Structure 1
Amino acid sequence: MQVPLPASNKSIALFSLAVSVVALALKYAAWAVSGSVALYSDAVETIINVVSALAGLWALSVAERPADHNHTYGHYKAEYLSAVAEGTLVLVTALVIGREAVEGLLHPHPTTAPYLGILLNAAATLVNLAWGLTLVQAGRRRRSPALQAGGQHVLSDVWTGAGLVVGMLLIPLTGWIWLDAALAGLIALNVLRVGWEMMRDSIAGLMDEAPSSETLDDIRDIIATNGRGAIEAHDIRTRVVGAITFLEFHLVVPGSMTVEEAHTICDRIEAGLRTRMGDTLVHIHVEPDNMAKHEGIVFWPRPETPETATPAPQVLHASIAPETPGGCPE
């Protein structure tokens, strides 16, 4: 169950804002007709969705700006700032909901028109389910932290909504009016968990945390496949910022190789990386054969006596380089 995607991330953010407003209207109506503490808590959380959608719209607008003299690497990290802000708002919301839950447990009161409230909340849950799946899919495909964070937050509302529907159905059947406040408390705990996960992932992006081992393996495989003619590639470092991958490494070539030949190898590696990884900013520091470390990706077993039939490159390990790498020779 997914919604057709608009063309741009900014259009998605605008649509997300509209969906959040619709869900908020339904949940507010559910609380208004029932007076339920749990449904009130759910509506309060949805207010954060609206605020987060506005923040995401701002972040995507900034992230799409081209690089300038003040931000030579682009504005991609604006998405992480949005996700951190959203996570902070979610944590504050959890505290507000928790306070209402405690008040409801201390002073429980029966709900009115519970079935109508449940029906309205269920409608909002279905809206969130369709849109949450769409956002997560879009965020993964477009490598957008803001879209993924928004989608995960919306999907957390789905689980909350499903639990509320079941729990609220039990109240008129069992007469346990305290269950209303207990459900609000569970909502607060779930919101707290989601907020922490969002902040953790976004802070990792702001701190330039290395990508997953699978991504690193893909990068090494691409370099090994397209780097024939070189001796080795070592000191590989990479980070992913939003939709772009930053990559730098040292490429050792025979000392007798011309600048043009080395440049051709660099171009081939860069083309392979962009084909598989999408937007990629690559810095390659080309070095002569006496700088070989015999680690990382080794293309020749013995640099001084290469055979005519070059064996398959060996991926040994990637190390962290203390130097600041240069670029591919022009």
Structure 2
Amino acid sequence: MSLVSSAQRVPPQVLLRWSVMVAAVTIALKSLAWWLTGSVGLLSDAMESIVNLASAAFALLMVRIAARPADEDHPYGHHKAEYFSAGFEGLMIMVAAVGILWAALDRLRAPQAIEQLGIGVLLSVVSSAINGGLAWLMFQSGRRHRSMALEGDARHLMTDVWTSAGVIVGVSLAAWTGWLWLDPVVAIGVALNILREGVHLVWRSSEGLMDRALEPEVIAEIAKTLRQFEHRTIRFDHVATRRSGRRRFVDLHMHMPADWTLGRAAAVRASVEQALMSAVPGLRATIQLLPTDVEAHFDDEEDLI
């Protein structure tokens, strides 16, 4: 079994528990690096790791809620809980960005010498390597499980990795050249970068909560499957798709001759549903049967009142 295949099989909850533990370790390493050097750039890196810890803990809670089965109050399940995780993580990133900007602007007005750079950089490199490895595992598992929570946490961790790389370069240049203003300038760049990532996560979360259509390639696969059943006596229309957490849904109308028996029509519908769910993993199909000469309308004004 390949390394990628093994990574994809790691359950989301396990990875998020790892993320919580890794966040605690990286907070300790990066805080120590900041304490030793006094660098505001490394302080910004440590602050982002605190956000990682809070976000990973919230994501773990949301994934557990999303995994609950449907109940009387939530007949369609709890899958959308993962979108709240991504939205919360985005907001936390934005809060961290504001805090970093505040500290960086204060240090820009009063630059401070950087001490014990070698040890501080080493600690930052070690923590970044840990975050990078975990982010890779999360991306692989997130694709397999179609988990917005995992994807959000993985993106945040990768942002943290690139942030650390930028901080290390900037802080090293500041110490080497003696241009102490480089340290807070790097921190400001870090803040703006993670602010952009936070806005992106909040936007994606809101898109999911508004029942965004499935990916174009998935819609194409659905259309390809339906064409296999099209006939001069059978046609499909009003095909609508949406995504809810890990679940995918498609609703459509299937038109067939009015003189067909209910048993025959139901058998054909069952074949179409099975084909769709086999072609698209995690898909739930809802097919309404209609006679060939009957059309349904959903856009009448009275339906919107």
- Deviation string 1:212-250 (CA, Å, 9 cap, x unpaired) is 322221211122224558521100111011111121110
Counterpart residue number, 1:174? 177
Counterpart residue number, 1:311? none
Aligned residues: 297
Match of 2:109 among 106, 110, 113: 106
SS at match of 1:69: coil
Alpha-carbon offset, residue 281 of structure 1:
2.1
User: Are residue 30 (structure 1) and residue 33 (structure 2) matched?
Assistant: yes
- Deviation string 1:241-279 (CA, Å, 9 cap, x unpaired) is 111112111000112222222212221221122222222
Counterpart residue number, 1:314? none
Matching residue's letter, 2:189: L
Matching residue's letter, 2:28: A
Counterpart-to-counterpart distance in 2, 1:43 and 1:178: 19
Counterpart-to-counterpart distance in 2, 1:62 and 1:133: 24
Match of 1:115 among 115, 118, 122: 118
The 3 A distance-change label for structure 1 pair 16 and 228 is farther
Counterpart-to-counterpart distance in 2, 1:70 and 1:142: 25
Matching residue's letter, 2:135: G
Name structure 1 gaps, 5 residues minimum. 294-319, 324-330
SS at match of 1:291: coil
Matching residue's letter, 1:64: A
Match of 2:130 among 127, 131, 134: 127
- Deviation string 1:19-55 (CA, Å, 9 cap, x unpaired) is 2112222111111111100000110011000000100
Counterpart residue number, 2:212? 209
SS at match of 2:124: helix
Name structure 2 gaps, 5 residues minimum. 301-305
Contact 1:235–1:321 (8 Å) recurs in 2: no
Counterpart-to-counterpart distance in 1, 2:258 and 2:149: 46
User: Are residue 58 (structure 1) and residue 56 (structure 2) matched?
Assistant: no
% identity of equivalent residues: 34
SS at match of 1:70: coil
- Deviation string 1:130-166 (CA, Å, 9 cap, x unpaired) is 1111111211111010000010010011111111222
The 3 A distance-change label for structure 1 pair 48 and 226 is farther
Runs (4+) of structure 1 moved beyond 3 Å? 1-7, 226-230, 320-323
Contact 1:83–1:145 (8 Å) recurs in 2: yes
Counterpart residue number, 1:85? 88
Match of 1:156 among 156, 159, 166: 159
Contact 2:8–2:142 (8 Å) recurs in 1: no
The 3 A distance-change label for structure 1 pair 128 and 228 is farther
The 3 A distance-change label for structure 1 pair 140 and 7 is closer
Matching residue's letter, 1:96: G
Higher helix fraction (1 or 2)? 2
Matching residue's letter, 1:206: L
Counterpart-to-counterpart distance in 1, 2:236 and 2:112: 69
Matching residue's letter, 1:125: S
Match of 1:266 among 252, 259, 269: 269
Contact 1:229–1:253 (8 Å) recurs in 2: no
Counterpart-to-counterpart distance in 1, 2:243 and 2:8: 24
Alpha-carbon offset, residue 284 of structure 1:
0.7
Counterpart-to-counterpart distance in 1, 2:279 and 2:116: 55
SS at match of 2:248: strand
SS at match of 1:290: coil
Contact 2:8–2:140 (8 Å) recurs in 1: no
Counterpart-to-counterpart distance in 2, 1:273 and 1:113: 61
Counterpart-to-counterpart distance in 1, 2:141 and 2:9: 10
- Deviation string 1:287-318 (CA, Å, 9 cap, x unpaired) is 1111269xxxxxxxxxxxxxxxxxxxxxxxxx
Q: TM-score, normalised by structure 2?
A: 0.92
Match of 2:235 among 229, 232, 235: 232
Counterpart-to-counterpart distance in 2, 1:27 and 1:223: 54
Aligned-CA RMSD value: 1.9
